């Protein structure tokens, strides 16, 4: 049985750089950085005092006032990006053949924290809005998106930490390949919270300034928030101009450590090779890698080794990390970075590392894009997402043949 070809027809993207894909992309290729002061909560006790906070009104679908009060910050960010992706795809028919796969991280924890504060002050009889009680559920964002847009097909929420949204995209593609769905909205959303902020600071994994992936002086991550969604469609049903081709994906597990990657990047490399095999793409045909690139000493060295092992030491593929511009959006990262990779393939520009000045020798030889976007004919691109617990996912996107 021949596998159906899958096209990307819609992209939705919200980060600290802008409220839609076009605004984000424009800022990315111009080398802008969205990491700055955070005032959602008090960050003064922490080493890390900067992050990528969204500060603009969200372009939401029509919601009742009651529903707006019920939705968490994460839900609202996700709804706005999902709306854009569906509109970008030409608002295709939504029925029981339209699937939804959403990656989750801390999700609505920011809103749940507000209830906890009140509970501590007021005691067991504390009343709270539904949002504050249900927002921490991992599937809350998927529920609101599915309901808002009438997506009646298969639905799943994926929670594999920072690879959640990338894995959700792979699952969505599998549904189309297996005949379970004709179209899938897939990606993820996440929001800043005290829990994640305090947690990463306690791990001493946060850079005091904007993160510097692959830099010799890198000191850790910069946290961010956002959402990235793609609309995947079976080729014979596509009615709008596609942005890119979904090639394939690979998932592996380090089975090594909860927070540290395998130092040689062995399993991460296997995920990249599996994605290339799934796509039918040769390593030498990859022109761009959107790296997981967190800015931690352990991740960037291991990932550099993984890229070289998968693509070959002589690879001509250039590399960059979107996290240098939008921070680490945790559960949303795979969706955000997949959206950026799709735009890179479509527009023929490799995004930059904007905060990196001197490449760490332990990360060489890889060609890191510095400063501003680099014009490049990108035939095939890889987007990496490597999470805590050794949950690895690599996605492949290709140029649409004209």
Catalytic center residues: 162, 292, 328
- Listed as own residue / partner, the contacts of 368-375 with beta carbons closer than 8 Å and 24 or more positions apart are 368/214, 368/318, 368/319, 368/320, 369/318, 369/319, 369/320, 371/31, 372/29, 372/30, 372/31, 373/28, 373/29, 373/30, 373/31, 373/349, 374/318, 374/349, 374/350, 375/348, 375/349
Tokens 């009104």 belong to: 57
Whole-angstrom Cα distance, residue 51 to residue 210? 7
User: Could you count the other beta carbons within 10 Å of the beta carbon of residue 56?
Assistant: 10
For residue 228, report the phi and psi dihedrals to the nearest 5 degrees.
-140, 125
End-to-end Cα separation, the chain, in angstroms: 26
Asked if 165 and 101 count as a contact pair (C-beta separation under 8 A), the reply is no
What is the distance between the alpha carbons of residues 382 and 247, in angstroms, rounded to a whole number?
A: 10
Closest to 80 (Cα-Cα) out of 163, 21, 157, 140: 21
Distance CA 183, CA 99 (A): 6
With beta carbons less than 8 A apart as the criterion, state whether 94 and 150 touch.
Answer: yes
- Distance CA(185)–CA(172), nearest Å, equals 8
């Amino acid at each position: 049985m021949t596998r159906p070809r899958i096209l990307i027809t819609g992209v939705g993207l919200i980060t600290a750089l802008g409220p839609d894909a076009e605004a984000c992309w424009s800022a990315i290729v111009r080398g802008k950085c969205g990491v700055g002061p955070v005032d959602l909560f008090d960050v003064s006790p922490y080493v890390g005092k900067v992050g990528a906070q969204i500060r603009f009104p969200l372009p939401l679908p029509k919601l009742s006032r009651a529903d707006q009060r019920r939705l968490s910050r994460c839900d609202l960010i996700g709804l706005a990006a999902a709306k854009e992706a569906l509109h970008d795809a030409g608002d295709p028919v939504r029925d029981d053949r339209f699937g939804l796969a959403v990656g989750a991280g801390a999700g609505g924890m920011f809103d749940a924290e507000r209830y906890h504060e009140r509970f501590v002050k007021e005691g067991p009889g504390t009343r709270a809005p539904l949002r504050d009680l249900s927002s921490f559920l991992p599937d809350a964002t998927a529920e609101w998106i599915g309901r808002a847009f009438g997506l009646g097909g298969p639905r799943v929420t994926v929670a594999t930490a920072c690879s959640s949204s990338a894995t959700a995209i792979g699952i969505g593609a599998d549904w189309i390949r297996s005949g379970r769905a004709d179209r899938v909205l897939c990606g993820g959303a996440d929001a800043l919270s005290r829990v994640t902020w305090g947690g990463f600071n306690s791990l001493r994994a946060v850079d005091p300034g904007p993160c510097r992936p692959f830099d010799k002086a890198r000191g850790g991550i910069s946290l961010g928030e956002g959402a990235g969604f793609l609309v995947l469609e079976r080729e014979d049903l596509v009615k709008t101009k596609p942005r890119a081709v979904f090639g394939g994906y690979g998932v592996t597990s380090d089975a090594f450590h909860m927070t540290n990657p395998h130092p040689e990047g062995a399993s991460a490399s296997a995920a990249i090779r599996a994605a290339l095999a799934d796509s039918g793409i040769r390593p030498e045909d990859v022109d761009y890698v959107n790296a997981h690139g967190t800015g931690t000493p352990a991740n960037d060295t291991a990932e550099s080794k993984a890229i070289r092992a998968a693509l070959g030491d002589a690879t001509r593929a250039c590399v960059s990390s979107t996290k240098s511009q939008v921070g680490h959006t945790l559960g949303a990262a795979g969706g955000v970075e997949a959206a950026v990779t799709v735009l890179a393939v479509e527009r023929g520009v490799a995004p930059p590392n904007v905060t990196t000045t001197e490449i760490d020798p332990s990360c060489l030889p890889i060609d890191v894009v510095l400063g501003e976007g680099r014009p490049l004919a990108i035939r095939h691109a890889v987007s990496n997402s490597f999470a805590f617990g050794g949950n690895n996912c690599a996605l492949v996107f290709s140029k649409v043949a004209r």
